[in-house]
Amino acid sequence: MALQIANPLEKEEIQRLVNEKKETEEKLAMVGGREFGFLLEDCADLSDIIENIREISGKRSEKERAAFESKVKFSRKIRRKAKDLRNFEQKVVEEFEKGHIPLEHGRKMVAIIKLLRSQDVEKAEREAEEFYAFLDMGDRLKEIDDLLSRKKAQIERNARMLLMQLSDLEWLEAQAKPDAEKIGRHEKRRNAQNALELARTEHLCALSAMPLCALIANERAEELLSMGMPMLERQTREALAAFLHKSGLEGKSASDLCSMAGESEQKLRHLGIDLAGFRQEIVGRKEFLSKIMFLRTGGFLDDIADGSQAQEYLARHSNAAKHACEELLSLGGTAREDKAEWERAGLIQKKRAGLEGVGKAALVSELKEIEELKNIMEGKAAAPNDEKREEKGIIAAFFGLFKKK
């Protein structure tokens, strides 16, 4: 669905905030000049000083009855505040000389400093009421800026979403109808590849579950070794097979033998197994047995691409793999092209689902409303509404709407 960006109430709220900001800035400029930030900073410093001195004055009588050490600390605090007053007075004079604050307000701040030195805090607070009002105006200005900043950020996010939707619509308009033949061929290829992967898994599970003696004595052992399967060399295999036959373990799989390796020697002795041989041939080959146990999760036969040695091997030893390979061969050599068409069709379907109920005209209208909101926030006059504005290139026209200057 299309986003509703600028409803009338939101537009009115933004206009109200922009007007209030302008009026507040004009009032502050009338009393503090174009760079009224200096005046607001001095007002904040003066407010802090008055508050601190009022706190000290309130504690003066209490500290007169305090212990000597507390009196010393309090006395130091008073001296620090006196120093703050001197520094602030000097700052006010310097800022007046630089033209940062008007003479009237500079004189009034100096007069308030004198009242504070004479400990007349209440009168100083009364004289500073005008500066407190300036501070309130400054705080409100910050609040408005924060509100407008958040609204602008939200509008920018919505604009990006609209532009993405518009881009997707234009992309869909430019797309040719998907080729059903290529898509069907790719899906058949995927099914055949899945069947081949399943055949690989089943074959590896079967190899892992085979009695180890049969696996290493199998005529395929050399072939498996040449293909990268974790397999012992011929002489080592023969020694291991001989031990398994001698110990009556020729029917045990790699998993069975790994489990036996964890049994106590007393139990193995009870079974009549040669412990020294068991340690050498079974316990000593535990790493090899583990690889056979987890053959399915290893890298053996993982390259089953067309024409690979693994694919040819599976086709010889698995009917399911053979049928899958025959299916792949019959589909021809357009795999990459078919896959690209299948992916394009999927993307078309996804974008259409995400744009259900969205119209291009509505998106363009929303973007024009965003442009109007942007103009309101920047204090610009609204651009004339050109109903004949070309839609071609609309994305480029709106893409820089909120680009920072």
Whole-number pLDDT of residue 324? 94
Whole-number pLDDT of residue 73? 46
**155 in Cβ contact with 14 (< 8 Å):** no
pTM: 0.61
The residues, any chain, with a CB within 8 Å of residue 79's CB and separated by 6 or more, are none
- Which residue(s) pair with 253 in the sheet? 211
Summarised one tens digit per residue, pLDDT across range 343-393 is 999 999 999 999 988 888 889 888 888 888 888 888 775 545 544 444 444
Amino acid letter, 215: L
Alpha-carbon distance of 181 to 341, in angstroms, equals: 10
3-class DSSP assignment, residue 172: helix
Whole-number pLDDT of residue 5? 52
CA 268 to chain centre: 57
Alpha-carbon distance of 207 to 107, in angstroms, equals: 98
**102 in Cβ contact with 31 (< 8 Å):** yes
Summarised one tens digit per residue, pLDDT across range 203-233 is 999 999 999 999 888 767 888 888 888 888 8
Sign of CA dihedral 353, 358, 361, 363: negative
To the nearest 10°, report the CA torsion of 395, 400, 402, 404: 160
Half-sphere exposure of 163 (CA within 13 A, CB side): 18
The residues, any chain, with a CB within 8 Å of residue 218's CB and separated by 6 or more, are 210
**Would you list the domain boundaries of the chain?**
31-127, 161-176+348-399, 181-342
Whole-number pLDDT of residue 58? 52
**Phi, psi at 253, each rounded to 5°:** -85, 175
The residues, any chain, with a CB within 8 Å of residue 358's CB and separated by 6 or more, are 1, 2, 165, 169
Alpha-carbon distance of 95 to 86, in angstroms, equals: 14
Alpha-carbon distance of 125 to 112, in angstroms, equals: 8
Q: Which of 189, 167, 162 is nearest to 325 (CA)?
A: 189
Regions of the chain where pLDDT drops below 70: 1-6, 56-82, 219, 333, 381-405
**What burial class does residue 61 get, using C-beta atoms within 10 Å of its C-beta: 0-12 exposed, 13-18 middle, 19+ buried?**
exposed
Whole-number pLDDT of residue 340? 95
The residues, any chain, with a CB within 8 Å of residue 53's CB and separated by 6 or more, are 81, 116, 119, 121, 124
**240 in Cβ contact with 281 (< 8 Å):** yes
